[in-house]
Amino acid sequence: MLGIFHFLPEFLVRGRSDFALKWRSRKSSPHGPILENLRQQFIAFSVDAGVLRFGEFITKAGRTSPYFFNAGLFNDGATLGRLADFYAQTLIDSGVEFDMLFGPAYKGITLASATAVALAAKGRNVPFAYNRKEAKDHGEGGTIVGAPLKGRVVIIDDVISAGTSVRESVDLIRAAGATPAAVLIALDRMERSGADGALSANSAVQEVGAAYGMPVVSIANLNDLLSFISAGGNAELTKHRDAVAAYRQRYGVSGA
């Protein structure tokens, strides 16, 4: 049975990784300069944790991607705690007004729970809830676990691909009489959806924001990733810059 720590990988596990850099936790980056920007810190952290890798990977859409972000590899207490701190700080900095958090099963369950803990540590104690994939017909019953859905609710997930979990979450929140306030994700790939030759003008993130009239806030995005590996302080990272830039040129949304 799938537990609350089960994450579905963002990319199919089919491909080769040239490397997964391992950086030590320290104030200064091996790139040289101290990383002051939260978004850049998150990219560095993701590389350090082996969550963000570079090489050749086949995505669910069948594209050959030069990078791979797999949030399932934030799989120990230390990395989950730091990830939650990034989520919490990003949400606070966004200025989004909210009353509680919601984590769509299964990935979002752990993310929302951990983010609630991180927010409380920052002085903002808010309730959270999550859904079951199948309704429970005994005990408390129903599909919602945790606090009742009330007020302005932020949906927390790792990425947005097709937007299915967001749509289901919005339906659940509205059915309870609450208001979806925003979606908070880890990485915005800024990729147009659709098959080659029939690419849409917008990314899944943009389409979700437009469809539900709410902001989609990301800790970092593809531009942050490219800026990070273009810094030139690490030869192993820099050698993937052209491949990532070419991928962005081919699939990135306008202005990416």
What residues does 188 pair with on adjacent strands?
221
31 is catalytic: no
Antiparallel, parallel or unpaired: β 152-156 and 179-188? parallel
Q: Contact at 8 Å (CB) between 137 and 103?
A: no
What residues does 184 pair with on adjacent strands?
156, 217
**Which secondary structure element, helix H or strand E, spans residue 210, and what is its range?**
helix 204-212
Structure token digits, residue 128: 């959270």
Secondary structure (3-state) at 100: strand
Q: Contact at 8 Å (CB) between 149 and 172?
A: yes
Q: How many CB atoms lie within 10 A of CB 204?
A: 23
Among candidate residues 6, 136, 150, 239, the one labeled active-site is 136
136 is catalytic: yes
- Classify 16 in phi/psi space as left (phi over 0), alpha (psi -120 to 50) or beta: beta
Q: How many CB atoms lie within 10 A of CB 240?
A: 20
Among candidate residues 107, 138, 150, 240, the one labeled active-site is 138
Active-site residue set: 136, 138
